[in-house]
Amino acid sequence: MDARLVFEDGTVFFGRVFSGSGERFGEVVFNTAMSGYQEVITDPSYSGQMVLMTYPMIGSYGINSDDIESRGLFLEALLVKEYIDFPSNWRSRQSLKDYLGQHHVLGIEGLDTRAITRHLRDNGSQRAMITQSDESLESLLHRLNVSPSMVGLNLADKVSCDGSYQWPMNGRSARFRVAVIDTGVKYNILRLLSENGCECTVFPSSISADEVLAQDFDGVFLSNGPGDPEPVTSVIQLIRNVLGKLPVFGICLGHQLLWLALGGKTYKLKFGHHGANHPVKHLETGRVEITSQNHGFCVDIDSLSPDDIEITHINLNDHTVEGFRHRRFPAFSVQYHPESAPGPHDSQYLFEKFIDLMESHRTRQGSVQQEVTV
Q: Whole domain around residue 327: which residue ranges?
A: 156-367
pLDDT, mean of each 10-residue run, the chain (374 residues): 94 97 95 96 97 97 96 97 96 97 97 98 94 94 89 94 95 94 97 96 98 97 97 98 98 98 97 96 97 96 97 98 98 96 92 96 72 46
Q: Can you tell me the distance from the alpha carbon of 115 to that of 120, in angstroms, rounded to the nearest whole number?
A: 9
pLDDT of res. 368: 55
Q: How far apart are CA 200 and CA 198, in angstroms?
A: 6
- Do 141 and 160 fall within a single domain? no
Whether 217 and 292 map to the same domain: the answer is: yes
Instruction: Tell me, yes or no, whether 194 lies in a domain.
Output: yes
129 and 219 fall within a common domain:
no
Please state the domain count of the chain: 2
- Closest to 130 (Cα-Cα) out of 27, 237, 58, 249: 27
Handedness of CA 230, 232, 234, 238 (dihedral sign): negative
Q: Which helix (H) or strand (E) holds 307?
A: none
Q: Assess contact for 275 and 244: CB atoms under 8 A.
A: no
Q: Is 295 a catalytic residue?
A: no
Please tell me whether residues 334 and 211 are part of one structural domain: yes
Same domain for 87 and 199, yes or no, is: no
341 lies in the same domain as 312:
yes
Which pLDDT does position 42 carry in this prediction?
Answer: 98
Q: Which of 145, 167, 191 is the last residue of a domain?
A: 145
As beta bridge partners, residue 109 has 16
Which pLDDT value is given to residue 203? 98
Would 58 be classed as within a structural domain?
yes
Residues 164 and 136 in one domain: no
Pairwise CA distance, residues 108 & 114, whole Å: 15
Residues 242 and 332 in one domain: yes
151 domain-assigned: no
Residue 372 lies in a domain: no
The catalytic position among 274, 282, 326, 337 is 337
Active site residue 339: yes
- Tell me, yes or no, if 284 is annotated catalytic: no
Q: Could you tell me whether strands 176-182 and 219-222 are parallel, antiparallel, or unpaired per DSSP bridges?
A: parallel
Given 88, 119, 145, which residue is the final one in a domain? 145
195 and 100 co-located in one domain: no
In sequence order, the β-bridge partners of residue 79 are 52, 108
Residue 218 CA, chain-centre distance (Å), reads 24
Closest CA to 79 of 147, 146, 11, 13: 13
pLDDT at 194: 97
185 with 93, same domain: the answer is: no
CATH number at residue 216: 3.40.50.880
Residue 187 backbone dihedrals phi, psi, to 5 degrees: -65, -30
Based on the domain organization, do 133 and 194 belong to the same domain?
A: no
Assess contact for 227 and 48: CB atoms under 8 A: yes
Tell me if 170 is assigned to some domain: yes
- Domain assignment present for residue 374? The answer is no
Residue 178 lies in a domain: yes
Q: Within this chain, do residues 141 and 163 fall inside the same structural domain, yes or no?
A: no
Query: Of the residues 199, 252, 322, 326, which is catalytic?
Result: 252
Domain ends where: 124, 145, 166?
Answer: 145
Q: In the prediction, which pLDDT does 171 show?
A: 87
Angle between helices 253-261 and 233-242 (to 10 degrees): 60
Q: Phi/psi zone of residue 61: left (φ > 0), alpha (ψ -120 to 50 degrees), beta?
A: alpha
Q: Would residue 328 count as lying in a domain?
A: yes
pLDDT (0 to 100) of residue 55: 97
Dist. CA 30–CA 332, nearest whole Å: 28
CATH number of 22's domain: 3.50.30.20
Instruction: State residue 369's pLDDT score.
Output: 54
